[in-house]
C-alpha cells in the first residue's frame, strides 16, 4: 500500500469572484460556497468568514475542523462512505491544502463544543490557531432535532472541504510525502529482527452526539478491526462527536494522526509497524468486555510485541482504556497508553476514573481542569452566549468585557490524546 500526500502550502486565503488556487493563495467565491451548503434543507442560514493567525479573533462554539483535500489518483475519494462511494482509501495520490482548514460553528449542538482564539494566551493551547481557518457559521432550521442538527453541520464541513480541495486537483504540490506499508506477511519477511508494533486507536462512540464514522458507518456498530495506517491518513475516519473540546479528535486530527505518522517514519528502521486496530468506546459493560476482548485477540493474532493505545474522551472511556491495556498486557504484549487527565484544578485528584497496575507506561497530554483566563477579542465568529454552559465553563465564565475564565477543556485540541497539541512537560 503506497500513499502519496501532495502538500500544497497555503500562504493566504481571501474572498474573490472565483474559487481558485494560484501561487499558494486560495480565493473563495463566498456566495457559491454558501449556495452549495444551503442545498441542505436542514440549514436555515450559513455564513462564511476567514480567521488568520495572530488576529484578535475568537471562534466559538467550534464543532469540527477539517483539512481540505482532493483525491487525484487511485481508488476512492474524499470522505468515503459519506461524500464519495465506499472504495478503500489509503493508496494513490491525494493533494492537501496544507496550512488552512474548514471550521464549523454556529448554534451549539451539544454542550461540549469549544473555543479557538487566533491570538493571545488561548492561541498557545490549540494547534488550530496556527492555521488560516475558513469558518462556517451554520444555523439549523427551527425545531430541528439535535442529531439532525449535528449531521447537517458535519456534512456542511465535509462539503466545504471537498469544494475547496478541488482547487488543488491540477496543482503541482510544494512537497510530496510518500508512505508505504506492507502486508503482514511481507513485513515479517522484510523485517524479521525488528520488534512488531501496532497501534490501538480508540474511537469515541458512546452515542448521544458522541460518534465517530469509519467509511461512513457509525463506529459503535462495528467490532474491532484492522486497518492499514494510510487509510486513516486518507479520510477513512471522520469525527461526528461533541465530546469535550480539549480531547476530541476532530476530522483534522484523524487525517493528521501523529501516532501513525511517527510510527511510519521509523517503520522498517527501528520497528515493524504492523498496522492499526480500531476499537470503540462503549457505554454498557458487556460491550466494553466484548470490544476489549477482541482488541486483545487481534493484537495477539498479529503477533505484536508492543502496542500504543490512544483514548478519546474521559470518564466512562477510561474503563475501555484500562481494559484494553490490561488484557493486551496479559497476552505478553507491552503497552503504552496515551491519555489526558482530569485531576482537578489543583491537580491533586485522581487523573483517570479507572486504573490498573498493568498500565505502568503512560503518556499524559495534560490536565484538562487547568484554569485559564482568555482576554477579550476584537471579533467573535459564532456566538459567546454558550460560554457559560460548554464543558469547562461555568456560571460567570464570561465577563461583561468579553474576558472568559474557563478550564482548558473548553479549548479545542488543548489536551488531545493522540498528542496533536502544544502542551509539554518539564522536570524541575
Could you tell me if 153 and 104 are in contact, meaning their C-beta atoms sit under 8 angstroms apart? yes
Q: What DSSP designation does 411 have?
A: B
The DSSP bridge pattern shows strands 25-28 and 12-15 to be parallel
- Within 203-284, where are the H helices? 229-233, 251-255, 258-266
100 is annotated as an active-site residue: no
C-alpha cell read off for 87: 472504495
Total-model pTM: 0.96
From the list 100, 138, 242, 325, the catalytic residue is: 242
402: left (phi over 0), alpha (psi -120 to 50) or beta: left
Domain boundary assignment for the chain: 2-410
CA 345 to chain centre: 25
Question: How many CB atoms are closer than 10 A to CB 10?
Answer: 22
Which residue carries 476482548 as its cell? Answer: 293
pLDDT, average across residues 20-44: 98
Residue 110 is predicted with a pLDDT of: 75
For residues 81 and 60, give the distance between their C-alpha atoms in angstroms, rounded to a whole number: 29
The whole-angstrom separation of Cα 148 and Cα 215 is: 19
The pLDDT of residue 355 is 92
Buried-state track 262-296, b at ≥16 Cβ within 10 A, e below 16: ebbeebbeebbbbbbbbbbbbeeeebbeebbebbb
Q: Give how far Cα 130 sits from Cα of 179, 412, 417, 421, Å.
A: 25, 13, 19, 12
Contact 420, 413 (CB under 8 A): yes
Residue 211 has phi, psi (to 5 degrees) of -135, 150
Spatial separation of the C-alpha atoms in residues 219 and 212, rounded to whole Å: 6
Give the C-alpha separation, 101 to 25, whole Å. Answer: 14
DSSP code for 41: T
Helix (H, G, I), strand (E, B) or coil at 106: strand
Q: Which three cell numbers stand for residue 312?
A: 478519546
Residue 242 has a pLDDT of 79
Question: What separation, in Å, do the N-terminal and C-terminal C-alpha atoms of the chain show?
Answer: 45
- pLDDT at residue 91 greater than cutoff 90: yes
- Inter-CA distances, 80 with 107, 224, 232, 353, Å: 27, 19, 11, 35
DSSP 79-113: SBTTTB-S---SSEEEEEEETEEEEEEES-SSS--
What's the maximum distance between 2 C-alpha atoms anywhere in the chain? 65
Mean pLDDT of 378-397: 94
In the DSSP assignment, the letter for residue 267 is B
pLDDT for residue 250: 97
Q: Residue 343's pLDDT band (boundaries 50, 70, 90)?
A: very high
Question: For position 243, what pLDDT does the model report?
Answer: 80
**Is pLDDT above 90 for 342?**
yes
Q: What secondary structure letter does DSSP report for 345?
A: T
Instruction: Return phi, psi of residue 291, to 5°.
Output: -70, -40
In tens, the pLDDT along 45-61 reads 999 999 999 999 999 99
Reported as a single tens digit per residue, the pLDDT across 253-284 is 999 999 999 999 999 999 999 999 999 999 99
Instruction: Please confirm whether the linkage preceding 428 is cis (ω < 30° from 0).
Output: no
Amino acid at each position: 500500500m503506497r500513499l502519496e500526500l501532495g502538500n500544497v502550502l497555503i500562504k493566504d486565503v481571501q474572498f474573490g469572484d472565483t474559487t481558485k488556487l494560484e501561487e499558494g493563495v486560495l480565493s473563495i467565491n463566498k456566495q457559491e460556497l454558501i449556495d452549495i451548503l444551503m442545498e441542505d434543507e436542514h440549514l436555515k442560514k450559513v455564513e462564511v468568514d476567514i480567521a488568520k493567525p495572530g488576529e484578535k479573533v475568537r471562534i466559538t462554539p467550534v464543532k469540527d475542523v477539517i483539512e481540505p483535500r482532493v483525491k487525484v489518483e487511485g481508488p476512492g475519494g474524499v470522505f468515503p462512505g459519506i461524500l464519495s462511494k465506499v472504495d478503500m482509501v489509503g493508496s494513490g495520490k491525494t493533494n492537501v491544502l496544507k496550512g488552512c482548514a474548514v471550521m464549523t460553528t454556529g448554534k451549539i449542538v451539544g454542550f461540549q463544543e469549544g473555543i479557538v482564539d487566533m491570538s493571545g494566551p488561548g492561541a498557545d493551547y490549540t494547534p488550530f490557531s496556527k492555521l488560516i481557518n475558513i469558518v462556517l457559521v451554520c444555523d439549523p432550521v427551527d425545531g430541528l432535532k439535535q442529531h439532525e442538527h449535528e449531521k447537517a453541520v458535519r456534512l456542511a464541513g465535509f462539503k466545504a472541504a471537498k469544494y475547496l480541495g478541488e482547487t488543488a486537483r491540477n496543482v503541482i504540490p510544494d512537497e510530496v510525502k510518500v508512505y508505504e506499508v506492507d502486508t503482514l506477511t511481507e513485513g515479517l519477511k522484510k523485517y524479521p529482527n525488528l520488534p512488531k508494533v501496532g497501534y490501538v486507536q480508540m474511537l469515541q462512540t458512546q452515542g448521544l452526539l458522541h460518534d465517530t464514522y469509519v467509511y461512513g458507518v457509525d463506529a459503535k456498530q462495528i467490532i474491532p478491526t484492522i486497518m492499514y495506517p494510510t487509510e486513516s491518513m486518507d479520510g477513512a475516519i471522520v469525527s461526528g462527536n461533541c465530546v469535550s473540546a480539549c480531547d476530541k479528535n476532530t476530522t483534522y486530527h484523524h487525517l493528521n494522526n501523529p501516532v501513525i505518522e511517527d510510527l511510519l517514519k521509523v517503520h522498517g528502521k527501528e520497528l515493524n509497524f504492523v498496522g492499526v486496530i480500531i476499537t470503540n468506546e462503549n457505554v454498557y459493560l458487556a460491550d466494553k468486555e466484548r470490544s476489549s476482548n477482541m482488541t486483545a485477540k487481534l493484537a495477539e493474532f498479529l503477533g505484536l510485541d508492543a502496542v500504543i493505545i490512544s483514548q478519546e474522551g474521559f470518564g466512562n472511556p477510561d474503563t475501555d482504556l484500562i481494559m484494553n491495556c490490561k488484557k493486551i498486557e496479559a497476552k505478553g504484549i507491552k503497552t503504552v497508553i496515551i491519555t489526558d487527565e482530569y485531576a482537578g484544578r489543583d491537580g491533586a485528584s485522581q487523573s483517570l476514573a479507572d486504573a490498573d497496575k498493568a498500565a505502568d507506561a503512560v503518556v499524559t497530554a495534560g490536565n484538562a481542569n487547568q484554569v485559564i483566563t482568555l482576554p477579550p477579542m476584537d471579533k467573535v465568529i459564532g456566538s459567546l452566549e454558550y460560554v457559560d454552559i460548554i464543558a469547562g465553563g461555568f456560571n460567570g465564565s464570561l465577563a461583561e468585557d468579553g474576558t472568559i475564565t474557563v478550564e482548558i477543556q473548553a479549548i479545542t485540541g488543548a489536551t488531545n490524546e493522540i498528542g496533536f497539541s502544544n502542551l509539554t512537560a518539564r522536570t524541575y
